[in-house]
């Protein structure tokens, strides 16, 4: 037998980094303990394996889930610490400071530090985008150009779209660039305000108080939250009204606890002196969790929203861009009609009475009461959660579960029609005779008399399906168009012959 081939050096490098991340995450989790330890491990290493479902739900309801993701805030702080630290160290040597461009040297070293941080924290999609933006900003310093400008932001967005075109439709891209665009617009606007401390009026007040300290944190939170609100509502079907309370404290903890602790604690862990650092981080996390629990228990801490019309987000995005990019009041007023069109689309989203994933092993059905019922013996928790959220239903998935046994599930549709989810072949005979709609991950027999049959063969052709009952007719929406055949999504092969015999393994994925 030939000896196994040696893995490429890149794989060995990433494996070594991941082992180091796992070791540090376990050390931080054990040092802090409990959910605070899990959050600390996620903040430091990007590993979220220790986090309980309860803790996830608490921080999600408080609108501060970003504290456990490595995103633009952390990347900017790490780069800033490296930049300021290197520049300050170089400034200690007068000969260097007076004769050489130590600012550019510090920027170059900060770029290396940011790349190392992104590599160690897992190089997730969100952290990679933050790294692109950080490298472009530091590159502007090397080129003697202003760093915080819309042009640099546009360049970063262009790099992301070229390297990951699918990211344009993702929530991470939309939220991160919308927030940064709002902050850059405010920064550019503030730079045009009078800098004289004796300036009177609202311009002087903003120039003195809106860019630093508590005022700066509140302004940054308000601008970023306003810019991302439409994307949050569109992508996640909910809004967190108390985010203006939670985010400033969260930013303070990230700035003064999490990022410094991650850098210092990681360095000291090699010699076993990192214990006090994690205790320091625990203080900040405990403050966040206390606030998050208070926000979660407050009335209307999360406002569920129904699904928007798909075209609404286009006008909401154009409204945001008009408000941020144009110079002058008159051009910016074009955001108002665009916003009105977007809100009209948000209020006219189409609901569904029936939804089935492409696997056919679960379904969501609107019953006579008007609420959704989730069917499936082993329900797809993620899909079920998305169905409920898109319907502005705040119930947990188990609370919406339907009646099921080992053979399948049965329920009544809003119209009173019987619906059956068949999970075992022996249930087809009875369910096909009495149900109006049959769903199954198996192949239904060709003799099945139900008017609508969504079995394995049908769902392979259509993909995910939603139905809406309109009087005597049924309105279909399919994920896969008829005849669609793409290199990354091949059309299913025609199924010939009779249905598979009973007992054949029919539950395997296509």
Residue 467: inside a domain: yes
pLDDT band of residue 397 (cuts 50, 70, 90) is confident
Contact partners, residue 158, CB within 8 Å, separation at least 6: none
| 22 and 86 both lie in a single domain | no
CA distance 284 to 370: 44
CA distance 500 to 503: 8
Residue 248: inside a domain: no
CA distance 69 to 60: 12
| C-alpha dihedral (37, 40, 41, 45), degrees to nearest 10 | -170
What local confidence, expressed as pLDDT, does residue 506 receive?
A: 33
Which of 6-20, 121-135, 168-182, 202-216 bottoms out in mean pLDDT, i.e. has the lowest? Answer: 202-216
Residue 498: inside a domain: no
| 373 and 445 both lie in a single domain | yes
Residue 252: inside a domain: no
**Please, which residues bridge with residue 272 across strands?**
none
Residue 493: inside a domain: no
What local confidence, expressed as pLDDT, does residue 202 receive?
A: 52
| 371 and 444 both lie in a single domain | yes
| 336 and 358 both lie in a single domain | no
What local confidence, expressed as pLDDT, does residue 510 receive?
A: 36
| 84 and 150 both lie in a single domain | yes
For the chain, give the mean pLDDT.
Answer: 83
CA distance 46 to 468: 42
CA distance 445 to 426: 11
Helix (H) / strand (E) element for 262: namely: helix 259-268
Residue 247: inside a domain: no
| 146 and 76 both lie in a single domain | yes
| 359 and 461 both lie in a single domain | yes
pTM: 0.79
Contact of 70 with 48, CB cutoff 8 Å:
no
| 92 and 176 both lie in a single domain | no
| 416 and 437 both lie in a single domain | yes
| 203 and 103 both lie in a single domain | no
Query: pLDDT > 70: what percent of the chain?
Result: 88
* Full residue range of the structural domain in which residue 216 is found: 170-239
CA distance 13 to 121: 14
Q: Which of 352, 379, 377, 375 has its CA nearest to residue 364?
A: 375
| 360 and 469 both lie in a single domain | yes
| 184 and 106 both lie in a single domain | no
pLDDT over 60 (residue 213)? no
Domain tally, the chain: 5
pLDDT band of residue 109 (cuts 50, 70, 90) is very high
| C-alpha dihedral (182, 183, 186, 190), degrees to nearest 10 | -170
Dig out the tokens for 61 from the structure: 């309801």
pLDDT band of residue 215 (cuts 50, 70, 90) is low
Q: Which of 250, 223, 236, 258 has its CA nearest to residue 62?
A: 250
Contact partners, residue 25, CB within 8 Å, separation at least 6: 41, 42, 44, 45, 47, 49, 50
Q: Locate tokens 């198996």: which residue? A: 442
What local confidence, expressed as pLDDT, does residue 99 receive?
A: 92
Residue 495: inside a domain: no
What local confidence, expressed as pLDDT, does residue 503 receive?
A: 35
CA distance 267 to 273: 9
Q: Which of 103, 111, 49 has its CA nearest to residue 78?
A: 111
């Amino acid at each position: 037998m030939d000896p196994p081939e040696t893995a490429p050096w890149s794989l060995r490098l990433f494996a070594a980094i991941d082992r180091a991340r796992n070791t540090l995450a376990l050390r931080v989790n054990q040092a802090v303990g409990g959910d605070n330890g899990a959050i600390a491990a996620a903040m430091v290493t990007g590993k979220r394996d220790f986090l309980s479902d309860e803790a996830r739900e608490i921080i999600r309801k408080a609108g501060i889930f970003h504290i456990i993701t490595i995103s633009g805030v952390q990347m900017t702080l790490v780069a800033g610490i490296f930049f300021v630290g290197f520049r300050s160290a170089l400034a200690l040597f007068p000969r260097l400071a007076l004769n050489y461009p130590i600012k550019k040297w510090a920027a170059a070293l900060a770029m290396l530090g940011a790349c190392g941080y992104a590599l160690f924290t897992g190089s997730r999609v969100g952290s990679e985008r933050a790294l692109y933006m950080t490298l472009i900003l530091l590159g502007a310093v090397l080129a003697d150009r202003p760093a915080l400008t819309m042009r640099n932001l546009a360049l970063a967005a262009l790099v992301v779209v070229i390297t990951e075109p699918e990211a344009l439709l993702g929530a991470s891209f939309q939220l991160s660039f919308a927030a940064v665009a709002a902050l850059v617009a405010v920064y550019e606007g503030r730079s045009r305000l009078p800098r004289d401390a004796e300036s009177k009026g609202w311009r002087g007040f903003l120039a003195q108080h809106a860019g630093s300290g508590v005022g700066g944190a509140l302004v940054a939170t308000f601008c970023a939250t306003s810019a991302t609100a439409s994307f949050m509502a569109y992508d996640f079907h909910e809004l967190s009204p108390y985010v203006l309370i939670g985010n400033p404290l969260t930013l303070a903890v990230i700035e003064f606890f999490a990022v410094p602790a991650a850098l210092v604690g990681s360095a000291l862990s090699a010699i076993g002196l990192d214990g006090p650092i994690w205790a320091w981080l625990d203080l900040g996390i405990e403050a966040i969790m206390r606030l998050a629990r208070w926000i979660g228990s407050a009335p209307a801490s999360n406002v569920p929203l129904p699904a928007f019309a798909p075209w609404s987000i286009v006008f909401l995005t154009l409204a945001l861009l008009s408000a941020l990019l144009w110079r002058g009041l008159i051009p910016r007023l074009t955001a108002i009609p665009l916003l009105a069109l977007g809100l009209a689309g948000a209020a006219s989203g189409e609901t569904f009475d029936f939804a089935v994933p492409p696997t056919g092993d679960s379904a969501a059905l609107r019953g006579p009461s008007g609420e959704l019922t989730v069917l499936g013996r082993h329900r797809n928790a993620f899909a079920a959660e998305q169905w409920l959220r898109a319907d502005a239903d705040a119930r947990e998935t188990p609370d919406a579960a339907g009646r099921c046994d080992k053979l399948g599930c049965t329920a009544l549709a809003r119209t009173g029609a019987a619906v059956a989810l068949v999970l075992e072949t022996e249930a087809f005979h009875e369910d096909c005779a009495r149900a109006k709609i049959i769903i199954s991950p198996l192949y239904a027999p060709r003799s099945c008399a139900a008017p609508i049959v969504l079995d394995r063969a049908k769902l392979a052709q259509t993909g995910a399906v939603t139905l809406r009952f309109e009087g005597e007719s049924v309105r279909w929406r399919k994920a896969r168009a008829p005849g669609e055949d793409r290199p990354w999504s091949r059309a299913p092969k025609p199924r010939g012959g009779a249905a598979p015999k009973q007992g054949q393994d029919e539950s395997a994925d296509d």
